[in-house]
Amino acid sequence: MDIREMHNREVEHWKGQYRRTVRLCKAIYDYSDYIALIKKAIEAEDLTEASVLFNEIDFETQSLLLIAPSKGGPFTTKERAEVTKLWDVQIQDIEDK
């Protein structure tokens, strides 16, 4: 592998990271009300409400919102664990992706 190919691979990697970050920021902005309500429901230990709210969001956006907080995700590690336990993934969601 020559230096140009290595450079191109690295550039493509960072372009992908940038695109994901842009999609994540847009999802957080678009679903900020849902995120706040889900966080409040988890804090109140109303996991049914948190589940209902989270499962109203489309699968692709759900996947983005479950990105680790260290990577910019909106939920804490504990909140992510709670939401993941309640995440209602449908076969069609996976097949549509």
Spans of all domains in the chain: 3-96
Per-residue pLDDT at 90:
55
Does the pTM exceed 0.95? no
Please state the rounded mean pLDDT for residues 67-91.
87
- Burial class of residue 55 in the structure, from the number of CB atoms within 10 Å of its CB (0-12 exposed, 13-18 middle, 19+ buried): middle
Per-residue pLDDT at 75:
97
Per-residue pLDDT at 84:
87
Per-residue pLDDT at 34:
96
Per-residue pLDDT at 87:
81
Say if residue 70's pLDDT is above 60: yes
pLDDT tens sequence across 18-62: 999 999 999 999 999 999 999 999 999 999 999 999 999 998 999
Say if residue 91's pLDDT is above 60: no
Measured distance CA(35)–CA(41) in Å, rounded: 10
